[in-house]
Structure 1
Amino acid sequence: MNLANKITLARIFLVPVVMIFLLVRFDLGSVHLGQVTLKVSELVATLIFILAAVTDGLDGYIARKNKIVTNLGKFLDPLADKLLITAALISLVEMQRLEAWVAIVIISREFAVTGLRLIAVAEGYVIAASPLGKLKTIIQIVAIVSLMLNNVPFSIFSFPFANIATVLAVAITIISGLDYFYKNRKIVALTKSEQ
């Protein structure tokens, strides 16, 4: 197993660690910032989540630079991304920092695009990540981090950054999903005509 795949696997193993620090009631103390109290365990979970998110670009960069792109890596990388985002969203719903419908919209889009990619592979096509898809991932990560931190430091100034980032994440998630389907409508039409 090459270095890029090991990094991807590490990202997968960090997913339950993030959830544990977010959802298990560790008494590691808390930090008071203005009217917001943030648990140290939530800070730790956020740092681990950021570390895991950063490895998303790192593993792909290493694989391409060293020409060690493998089928295992192509399978594990998107799986790791989806596990990380999905676990964080579900944890935030459990923590009552995110509305369930937001998580459902984002997760549903991931299932839909994954299904589209499976159809494309069956037809002999490969759907590469689009610029909108990459932007979607970045905005989702920013929104998740701001929600994990309970809008700190923006809460000190009563600025609803987390809410704005969440709205943007939902919007770009829907737009990028529609973009994938529109740009690959011929693949969907082709499979329908053959059924």
Structure 2
Amino acid sequence: MNVPNWVTVSRLLALPLLFLWLPTPGAETRWWGVSIFLLAASTDWLDGYLARRFNQVTELGKFLDPLVDKLLVLGPLLILLTWQMVPAWAVGLILARELVIAGWRVNPQLASQTEIAGANLWGKVKTVTQIMAIALLLAPLPKIYGQIGMVIFWLAVVLTLISGLIYLLPQTNKGVVGNQTPQG
């Protein structure tokens, strides 16, 4: 395992802390939770930068990075769900998309691919939007910020569905559709 992969794995350490501090929504524990969440989320950029900068992009990293991102987003969403700040059906949609895409990425028979596909731009925008919404909803800020957080949350739900459809729909690439190549 290389350094970028260790950075990715280190994000997992945030989850137990979030589940420790956030079940009781006091202001101090919420600020600790938001801080840990944002610190962990910021390492997503760092591991990708290190992997590209030092030419250490690996299949393991392409698998672990989005998986850890999903766990880092879904953990706090479950907490927000227990606080009744977000609807269960919306979290269910996000979870369903993430499970389908995770299975699609790693199963070559489903995706007609020989290696694990990395996240596309839509997936990255979706993740950043989810992180912004979660941070605003977790933070003990004035009501207007919670309302802004909910607007961003709904945008994240829409982007989650759009990015999932884009990932799953057949893509045309220089005469190649799916895994069929032109004959001739």
TM-score, scaled relative to structure 1 = 0.79
Structure 2 counterpart of 1:135: 125
Structure 1 counterpart of 2:3: 3
Paired with 2:117 and 2:57, the residues of 1 have a C-alpha distance of: 16
1:51 pairs with one of 39, 48, 54: 39
Structure 1 gap segments, 5+ residues each = 31-38, 191-195
Q: Which amino acid aligns with 1:163?
A: M
Moved more, 118-127 or 54-63: 118-127
Give the superposition deviation at 1:123.
4.0
8 Å CA contact 2:62, 2:116 repeated in 1: no
Give the superposition deviation at 1:104.
0.5
Structure 2 counterpart of 1:171: 158
CA-to-partner distance for each residue in 1:13-57, whole Å, 9 max, x for gaps?
Answer: 11111121111x48xxx6xxxxxxxx1100100010000100011
Matched residue pairs, number?
174
TM-score, scaled relative to structure 2 = 0.83
Pair 1:93-2:81 in alignment: yes
Structure 2 gap segments, 5+ residues each = none
Paired with 2:4 and 2:87, the residues of 1 have a C-alpha distance of: 35
Q: CA RMSD in A?
A: 2.4
Q: After the TM superposition, which residues 35-114 of structure 1 pair with which residues of structure 2 at under 5 Å, given as runs?
A: 39-114=27-102
Moved more, 81-90 or 176-185: 176-185
Structure 2 counterpart of 1:15: 15
> CA 1:92–1:159 in structure 2 vs 1: closer, same or farther (change >3 Å)?
closer
Paired with 1:99 and 1:20, the residues of 2 have a C-alpha distance of: 22
> CA 1:128–1:77 in structure 2 vs 1: closer, same or farther (change >3 Å)?
closer
Paired with 1:67 and 1:131, the residues of 2 have a C-alpha distance of: 20
8 Å CA contact 2:59, 2:115 repeated in 1: no
CA-to-partner distance for each residue in 1:92-138, whole Å, 9 max, x for gaps?
Answer: 11122211111111111101111221233664254332211111011
8 Å CA contact 2:136, 2:146 repeated in 1: no
Is the partner of 2:12 in helix, strand or coil? helix
Is the partner of 1:160 in helix, strand or coil? helix
